[in-house]
Amino acid sequence: MKKQSIYSLLAISLSALAFGQVAIGKENIEGNSTLLDFNNTTNNTLGIILPAVDVMPSDFTTANNGTFLFDKSSSTLKMYENNQWVNLSKEAGDGSAIVSNTTDDVGKGAIIGSETTNAQGVLVLESTDKAMILPRIKAPHLNVKSPYPGMMCYDTETQSVALFDGRFWNYWR
């Protein structure tokens, strides 16, 4: 009976997190309109590493607009938008540093901000009134000493999204 109570309490606690705001690498979320927030110290050099796929997903729907990934077959960064994959790399990068994950996928991924979603992904942020704040790094091309292919952040110096494709930083405004 005691084990069952502990499992129930754990399940309730975890489900509460699914609807809440999440901070990673910091104590507090910035603002009420933020779903996911990352470390924003001035010397931060840590970004998000996008999933690296061997085969591009082909069964996506418009629910997946805004999906980002690293395409290992072409060594490019891509985003899904309006039922097609858009190339974000100016030219082919280098995915040779990517360490392949050989474990089996378990489950459908994690959802933050909603109980369910039609989107498919490892991490799905689902909200009608909240957004994610990317990790902020000043001049990542100078300050991130060993970027990993598929790294994504917000460059506070150029005020743009920065994506590393294994060879070059690609900047998007």
pLDDT per position as a tens digit, 115-167: 888 888 888 888 888 888 899 999 999 999 999 999 999 999 999 999 999 99
Determine the residue type at 135: P
Residue found under tokens 């996928």: 105
pLDDT value for 39: 83
| Joined tokens for residue 36 | 């996911």
Cα–Cα separations (whole angstroms), residue 100 to 61, 92, 120: 26, 19, 21
CB 161 within 8 A of CB 79: no
pTM of the entire predicted model: 0.79
- DSSP, collapsed to helix, strand or coil, labels residue 84 as strand
Q: How confident is the model at residue 7 (pLDDT cuts 50, 70, 90)?
A: very low
Rounded CA-CA distance 109/142 in Å is: 33
| Joined tokens for residue 71 | 């395409």
Rounded CA-CA distance 151/153 in Å is: 7
pLDDT value for 15: 42
